[in-house]
A and B are shown apart, each in its own frame.
Chain A
Amino acid sequence: MSALRSSAVAGSHRVRQPRAARAAAGAGAQARIGLLFTSVYTLFLIAFGVLPTLYAVFLAFTRDGAFAGVDNFLRVFSDYRFLPAVMHVAAYVVVWLISLLVFVVLLALVVQAIRIRWVSTSVRFLYYVPGALAGAASVMLWLFVLDPSVSPVAWLLHALGSDSLVQTVQLDTLPIVLAVIAFWTGAGGWIVIMYGALNNISADILEAARIDGAGAWSTAWFIQIPLLRKWISYMAILSLAAGTQLFVEPRVLSQATHGVVPQDYSLNQLSFLYAFKQADFNGSAAISLLLLAVALLLSVYFVFRGGLFERE
């Protein structure tokens, strides 16, 4: 309303404040369209994000409807499966996050350096295709790749000392196996995003670097990667949130190996067992809240470290 009013006022004093009034009217329209665009998202966020989180908070601090303090958390902490699950997720996140950050940036730089257009386009398309497979479907596909009795790369698995699926998915190698699956599924999209970010770097800066005698590696290390800092942080935050919620990959592997990959491998799986094997939704909610807290803390670290909200 205020925007409309100021527009009307501006109309009667067109000569005195034409530019400011027009800008105010434009901003008002923009705000309304902005609200329209974000309203649906906000509704879904409240329905499927905020409300379930509040429900989880309610469950985590109650027992049979009565306030239980931190009892649910203490019960979860003392569970013999809790610490191993934390270690498993931590190992996986470290392996995956490092490999994701390093290889995505590296591959994006390589793709951007390709000067033949059709080769560059084809490679980007190829990187992106695996991401089109949904989580469980990609794990199913990997089951075939990891099982030496049916794998197209059985020779490689044999060379690595694995003669059966059970040997391939032993606990100590599992973080690497899971990281490979997750990388293959998720990295393509990030490579395309990084490629876009690389293309945004001003040609003048690169030109200046070249004139100063920087080669491809120096340009990448001193110019391109520092300028990608925000994007790398953004990738790290989103991947971290996804990584701590590890569930689909070990769950499907667990079913396929008849339990050799344990059902309580990750924290989310443990939360699932609490809810559906022990009918203990309060304990389950406590684990979920812990995961949320850890992901939030680490995300805050990456936000400030990566200068995500800084403006140039």
Chain B
Amino acid sequence: MLAQHQRASRFIRLAAAVSAVAGIVALGGCSSGGGEVDSKYGFPTVEQVPDSEITVWVDATRQPAVEAFEKANPDIEVNMVVDDGSASGSGTFQTKIGLADQAGEGWPDVVFSTQNNDASWASKPTNGVQAFAAPINKGFFDQSFLDGFTPGALDPVTVDDTVWGLRNDLAPVLFWYNKPLLEQFGYEVPTTWEQYQELGDKLAAEHPGYTLGSVGDSFTGPFVYYWSGSAPIFQVDGDSFSSDVHAADSEKVTALIDHMVANKTLTQDSVFGADFVADSSKLVAIPGPAWYAGALFQNPNSINATSGQWIAAPPLSWEGSDEVTGNVGGGVWYASSHSKNLEAVKTFLEFVTTQDGVAGTGGLPAYQSAADTWLNDQAASGFFGPDFATSVGTAAESVWSGWGYPSFSAETAYAKVIVPALAAGKKISDVADEWQKEMENEATVQGYSVD
């Protein structure tokens, strides 16, 4: 009995010690950052260490921009970490910051994200740790620098008059078409969604196998078709979220996609997949963002178009409705509020967003002067037709403002419900209610009230 008692008390002592250590670990995880607001920057900063290395998280596409900065600024040491840029709602950015918040250390100084909705969480303190993103219009950047961005470019990263990030590029949806093919078939370039669908019917009847776009990626449905079609499936008003798949415009987009998937003029191949590239000679036209320019057409690993083959036309809209369009990403640069070298961060961000040839990284730069240079260069090369600058300019000014930026991505619910349904031969109209429910459920768990 005595031995047993001794064993038991030893066990209790050990358990108490282990619990104490666990408690200390737990309390350590709750340490908060920040303190006094630094009037120079407009948020609580850590002690600054001039000349310290800055850590930059970017995706592979942005890697050359960072390398260009390193070359131009050899006195600033950069630790570049390449990740997936949080593409397709993977949440890499949020995940890694969540870990750093919990650990109380390990934050990067600059992050590039392909998701415009990251500002909605990166601007909020979590678990007692100050918001990761640094507010950049409270003293960090001069207003004159911020005014240099294309009007509306910083809207997605602005919460209650505070700007939390810098847009890298703009991604308005245009209508791209294959000029030689369209001329060979004797078709007119459509200017409305109705004409686009009619063209689909003609093409399916007269030239089966040829296509007018893809719904194979989870971004194309929501951002290219529903957003451009001014469908209110993803709307935010303060802390409330709403989705209406039965609104008139939502049903029109659903009917359009269902119709063109059925007549096989919309393919279900991913635009980044091997099958899409293999069949790209049969692609007659495709509505898509400005960054298709570099990602698809001027990419040797994708469509690899020749000059004058693919033309950028103004975006499609509904007959008799406002001429609006959608938007597919357009990445954002975030400065860390935990950085101990904010001056280097500022220099870096100014360089990558404004420098000609670097800003926009192949797409339409969000900074107006860089955008002008890019558009002029593209127009001068004549690669995408003589009206390229006008088409892109029209698209950039007409992104539909009814779309919302909650803290979750429109892609996940679409990927979960619609993409598998289409692959299984169902119509979007069959699962539209399920899709709306999924979006509303997502909004609820993220803390939004659902209207």
Partner of B424, one of A80, A170, A257: A170
Chain A contact residues, majority secondary structure: loop
CB of A13 closer than 8 Å to a CB of B: no
CB of B19 closer than 8 Å to a CB of A: yes
Cα separation A255 to B92 with both chains bound (whole Å): 11
CB of B274 closer than 8 Å to a CB of A: yes
CB of B247 closer than 8 Å to a CB of A: no
List B contacts of A164 (CB < 8 A). 216, 268-269, 275, 423
Per the 8 Å Cβ criterion, residues 74-110 of A in contact with B are 79-81
CB of B391 closer than 8 Å to a CB of A: no
List B contacts of A59 (CB < 8 A). 26
Count, chain B residues at interface, CB 8 A: 49
List A contacts of B270 (CB < 8 A). 258
Q: Who on chain A is nearest to B274 by CB?
A: A149
Which among B37-45, B71-79, B414-422 touches the partner chain? B414-422
CB of A222 closer than 8 Å to a CB of B: no
Given A51-B21, A166-B420, A258-B217: A276 touches B26 (CB 8 Å cut-off): no
Cα separation A81 to B446 with both chains bound (whole Å): 13
CB of B411 closer than 8 Å to a CB of A: yes
Count, chain A residues at interface, CB 8 A: 32
Q: Are A257 and B415 in contact (CB under 8 A)?
A: yes
Cα separation A150 to B276 with both chains bound (whole Å): 12
Q: Are B90 and A278 in contact (CB under 8 A)?
A: no
List A contacts of B216 (CB < 8 A). 164, 166
Which among A124-132, A242-250, A259-267 touches the partner chain? A259-267
CB of B52 closer than 8 Å to a CB of A: no
List B contacts of A79 (CB < 8 A). 445
Q: Are A260 and B415 in contact (CB under 8 A)?
A: yes
List A contacts of B99 (CB < 8 A). 276
List A contacts of B89 (CB < 8 A). 259, 263
Q: Are B420 and A170 in contact (CB under 8 A)?
A: yes
List B contacts of A65 (CB < 8 A). 30
Q: Are A55 and B420 in contact (CB under 8 A)?
A: no
Q: Are B419 and A166 in contact (CB under 8 A)?
A: yes
CB of A54 closer than 8 Å to a CB of B: yes
CB of B88 closer than 8 Å to a CB of A: yes
Q: Are B98 and A279 in contact (CB under 8 A)?
A: yes
CB of A281 closer than 8 Å to a CB of B: yes
List B contacts of A277 (CB < 8 A). 91, 94-95, 408, 446
Taking the closest CB of chain A, its distance from the CB of B416, in whole angstroms, is: 5
List B contacts of A80 (CB < 8 A). 441, 444-445
A residues with CB within 8 A of B: 46, 50-51, 54-55, 58-59, 65, 79-81, 149-150, 164, 166-167, 170-171, 255, 257-260, 262-263, 272, 275-279, 281
Besides A255-B90, A259-B88, 9 more A-B contacts (Cβ < 8 Å) are A51-B22, A51-B25, A54-B22, A58-B23, A65-B30, A81-B445, A164-B423, A259-B89, A277-B95
